[in-house]
A and B are shown apart, each in its own frame.
Chain A
Amino acid sequence: GESVGLHLPTLSVQEGDNSIINCAYSNSASDYFIWYKQESGKGPQFIIDIRSNMDKRQGQRVTVLLNKTVKHLSLQIAATQPGDSAVYFCAAGYTGTASKLTFGTGTRLQVTL
């Protein structure tokens, strides 16, 4: 089966600095990966996704890097803002079977002023 884990449960970053949140997955057959942001009392909010035919994808202030060799992905947030404070989840799955997304344990990002 798939297991997805995060390296750090809590990440504290100063406002304006870049944040890097890491995630490891176990199933090499996974070919679809998503990062979600969850604020307290709310549902997860889609940030960015990447498929296994890519190793990097950029969005607005966010970049996801995928290293299939070591089964690792990361989320980079540029110029971190207080509004970025939340729990970030990575999820892994298979194209065409999005229902089988397996979520990581989550990393809490704390942005300090």
Chain B
Amino acid sequence: GAVVSQHPSRVICKSGTSVKIECRSLDFQATTMFWYRQFPKQSLMLMATSNEGSKATYEQGVEKDKFLINHASLTLSTLTVTSAHPEDSSFYICSASGDYNNSPLHFGNGTRLTVT
């Protein structure tokens, strides 16, 4: 159980374009989803917390207008990287928990974004 699906797994885009990444909880309802960013050989850094039906909560230093998060249903959250630049190239990973008081976070397999 507790499968989190992320799509696409890889995406290449040109500078200035926008890219949408989807995160789905396949076998449970995720009231809260989280978006992380990971640079090569580094740890995961939390970008934002996505709550179903409300605005996302962004971590300090994360531009909310650049990284748009939408959590329209209990099984889907999207991250849109707007006006992408090469420095946005990274590994983006989502995670979800149905009941974060009692269950651990389960992660998607990540999206490798390359901005050319």
Contact = CB atoms under 8 A, between A and B. Distances in A.
A20 interface: no
Nearest to B44: A103
Given A99-B32, A99-B34, A46 B106 contact: yes
- Label chain A's interface by main secondary structure: strand
Contact of B43 (A46, A95, A99, A105): A105
Interface of B: 4, 6, 32, 34, 41-46, 49, 57, 93, 95, 97, 100-101, 103-110, 112
B43 A104 contact: yes
A97 interface: yes
Interface of A: 34, 36, 41-46, 49, 89, 95-101, 103-106
13 contacts: A34-B104, A42-B109, A43-B6, A44-B107, A96-B100, A96-B101, A97-B100, A98-B97, A99-B49, A99-B57, A101-B46, A103-B44, A106-B41
